[in-house]
Structure 1
């Protein structure tokens, strides 16, 4: 067995404990007092306080699991400085070595409003590339898993992207990075892209967590997903699920997507080129 094959086997062995961690965090979120039941936060400080009251315990549970699984592997958000890739939305991802990319409440805005579209998302990133990923939507009772070289599954069943080849019947989705005002070029491009894509497809939706929408694209529930801006924490787990399912995952210039890229597109082979033509600057 080659070193690469050994690594791939190791990646696959991480999936069950990663799923267990995501499930425990998901149960905690569902059973926590819902922020939407309290008087609504009226300022960003109030919103942050309400969020941290839930995010703190959820993060503690996740840390317990991940520290036991791979002792000493840091979370990407803890890593800064000259050896990190990018800044802003992609700050902290190491160019070499291992790191966890974790979002214990992907879709936090929806969660805080009492909406069901949220999930727990995590990925192990090695040398800048996602190699194992778990996404769990507790209210759906669904879990996506993927490991480099081992394919992707939903609730244990292999998934594959849509077989559509014509945009006119396609259901596609898009989203935006958190705090999009910090990326004004991305915000402007996102608006332009909607004007280009809306007339060409059956419908465009934003169905909540970025990572989950990418995974639903990998499973053929959505026909494609695109986003402008740097958004590594949300894109990395879904990117691995999509790649392993057989979708084409690129930046918006058509190059293989990498962390720190300024745009993202996941689509089946039959739709990717047509969408890319609409989305290119």
Structure 2
């Protein structure tokens, strides 16, 4: 296990992969069948993982790799058994990429002892590289990040998200509908953007004031969670408990905003 990690090497590898996708952006045929969609998604995962592995193997030869399959709910409940591993979400927002619209990133996390040690999110379209290391802060293109210090809900931007769990018999659709209603009733601006990790990084950058999701989406969250936390955000469940790996909801904001949201949620 390597105590020190070569951050520039990691950032260069992620940037290289993202820039290849940027070069090919809008060159694919938008998928028109389920089979076409699944094949193009698989192609993205395969190529991105190969590129990252190839560039990081020499520096980190002993660290294994895991793909963050956001459709596998059970796999998201606990960290892998390895003491240290790369967790790769080859492209967060791949659907947007294939549909020729913005909102896609390359995400990579180094997990150690069941917790994210280092994470990076690269947005090629904006040329923005977000990264964080546990206990050492969060940064975007070399600049330290800090969360929003707004106090007026009327000018705050809140975002809601959802994942790929089966919502047919779980009440999740109703719960999310109630969440969106409460956001619309209390926050000045409410949006749903798409790439979960990038939105969490935006909380860290002070661009988004509150992120809320009522189902489990660990693999989509994990890179952005470290960035948001290292920027000063509070990482909770929507019940107000401290978030841990496997939690089935997520609330991320500065402490004062989280407290206001939880009061709103509990009000009848």
Q: Provide TM-score, normalisation by structure 1.
A: 0.85
The one of 115, 127, 139 equivalent to 2:125 is: 139
CA distance in 1, matches of 2:266, 2:243: 14
Gaps of 5+ in 1: 1-5, 80-85
Name the SS for the 1:25 alignment partner: helix
Name the counterpart of 1:83: none
Partner of 2:209: 223
> Cα distance 1:44–1:245, how it changes in 2: closer, same or farther (>3 A)?
same
Q: Does 1:69 align with 2:76?
A: no
Distance (Å, rounded) in 2 between the aligned partners of 1:277 and 1:17: 44
Q: What is the Cα deviation at residue 104 of structure 1? A: 1.7
2:104 to 102, 108, 118: 118
Cα deviation, residue 73, structure 1: 2.1
- Of 31, 39, 44, which aligns to 1:41? 31
Partners of 2:169 and 2:215 in 1: CA distance: 7
- Give the whole-Å Cα distance in 2 for the aligned partners of 1:218 and 1:97: 27
Choose from 3, 10, 13 the match for 1:18.
Answer: 10
**Residue equivalent to 2:163:** 177
Q: Which of 34, 41, 49 is the aligned partner of 1:59?
A: 49
Cα distance 1:195–1:119, how it changes in 2: closer, same or farther (>3 A)? same
Partner of 1:214: 200
179-188 or 119-128: bigger deviation: 179-188
- SS of equivalent to 1:73: coil
Q: Measure the CA separation in 2 of the matches of 1:69 and 1:231.
A: 30
Provide Cα deviations, 1:148-190, integer angstroms capped at 9, x if missing partner.
Answer: 1110011000010000123222111121113554884433322
Q: Is the 8 A contact 1:193 1:278 kept in 2?
A: no
CA contact (8 A) 2:25 2:100 kept: no
Q: Which moved more, 1:13-22 or 1:169-178?
A: 13-22
Q: Which deviates more, 169-178 or 65-74?
A: 65-74
Q: Which residue of 1 aligns with 2:178?
A: 192
Q: How many residues align?
A: 264
CA distance in 2 between partners of 1:279 and 1:65 (Å): 46
Residue of structure 1 in register with 2:238 after alignment:
252
Q: Which segments of 5 or more consecutive residues in structure 2 lack a partner in the other structure?
A: none
Q: Is the counterpart of residue 29 in structure 1 residue 27 in structure 2?
A: no
Q: Distance in 1 between matches of 2:217 and 2:203?
A: 17
**Secondary structure of 1:262's partner?**
coil
**Structure 1 pair 188/255, CA: closer, same or farther in 2 (3 Å)?**
same
Deviation at 1:45, TM superposition (A): 1.4
**How far apart are 1:204 and its partner, in Å?**
0.9
For residue 104 of structure 1, the aligned residue among 53, 69, 90 is: 90
Output the TM-score relative to the length of structure 2: 0.89
Secondary structure in 2 matching 1:68: coil
